A and B are shown apart, each in its own frame.
Chain A
Amino acid sequence: MSDRQYVIINAADVSSVNFDDVLETSADTLRYNVAGDETFVKYEGPKPRCLYGKDTLSHSAMLTVLADESWTETIEEE
């Protein structure tokens, strides 16, 4: 996973993501934070144009972010 890069985006910006350029399958398969106002996408190779201007995280840095309680609920509800 070392060559993967991750970018956190606002939920409101999902519509601007070109899913042909990222590894996520579609807008329907994204993972959101607990508040539901942020998600992330990942890519390999050149940074997709739709993500220009946004910060990039490594795999290990992304795992650290996701370990925070703002991304991982104690008990998820359905």
Chain B
Amino acid sequence: MSDITLIDDSEQSSLVTNGLAKNGEMYLKKAGSTDAGSIVVYDSGVWKGFANEYDAGLSNTYSVDFDGTNDIVSGPAVGTTVGTCSMWFYNDDVITTTSTGQVLLNTAGYHFGIVLGSQTGLTNELISMQYKQSGVWRAIGYAGSGLSLASGWHHVMVAWVSNSSTNPGNAGYDFWLDGVKVGNSVSTAPTVPDSLASAGNGFHIGARFGSGSVYRPFDGRIDEFAVWSGDASGDIANIYNSGAGAVDLNSSGVVGTAPEIWWRMGDNDGGAGTTITNQGSLGSSADGTLVNGPTFSTDVPS
């Protein structure tokens, strides 16, 4: 049995640059490198990868705890649209269709938000996207009499897809809750936001923030917040990971495209300080900032 050499990204490049890579030789990617834990094989100038099937998970120690009064994590203005948003959340309260709305995501200036519970625009909404057009609040999302969401960890994804259930035959946002596509309820036309929601004016998670106050704060914890400019819904099964929690969103074995924004909510910041270091492709230009005292928690989805 031959040994397998451990290499990082730099060493992998050097093998090619220095002409040392030989056809058929296998290497194991080191922790911290791209596709860590995967086996790569050099084949006539091309690296062939074999996804790490042993452990698709990722070390996850921290989430961010919002106290439900005014805690926010604020993101800067970045040049990306919200093609897909994915996050884990732990709602301290049971959410029903009559619960006061709690905002998971708000993109400033675009009247856009992912909201748990009752807001406006729909009847019996459990999870919805809120937007304002022509002076009227509208919503799309998951609604229905008697729906409720037990306190606990849940995963939500909202993605802009070419043939949307909320706008049949046309592009629009669709919803996934705990890995399952849900919701096609719409308010009066127009049934989609007038443009793909932008993060160009900044964004917040944990509450709507603007006009001199804080609205609809979320009471609970949020983890593994991610934004793609494109549609990542095809990878929902890998991202949800059967409910087992965090996965490496920068791994090609998990998602087709890495996210622009990926906040690990403390795992890259030692669970301390007031900065959430972005692990997505936009890098530090999309770091988050804890506002009004949210705290790091060691309760994480698993």
Contacts and interface: CB of A to CB of B under 8 A. Distances in A.
Q: How large is the interface on B (under 10, 10 to 19, 20 to 34, 35 or more residues)?
A: 20 to 34
Given A25-B291, A75-B120, A78-B111, A6 B211 contact: no
Given A1-B65, A23-B293, A29-B291, A76 B70 contact: no
B100 A31 contact: no
A67 interface: yes
Interface size class of A (residues with CB under 8 A): 20 to 34
Secondary structure class of chain B's binding surface, majority of residues: strand
Contacts of A1: 65, 67, 295
A5 to B, nearest CB: 12
B214 A31 contact: yes
B35 interface: no
The A contact surface, by secondary structure, is loop
Contacts of A78: 111, 132, 210-211
B68 interface: yes
A50 B26 CA distance: 65
Contacts of B137: 75
A29 B72 contact: yes
Given A24-B293, A75-B137, A30 B213 contact: yes
Interface of A: 1, 4, 6, 23-25, 29-32, 36, 40, 42, 59, 62-63, 66-67, 72-78
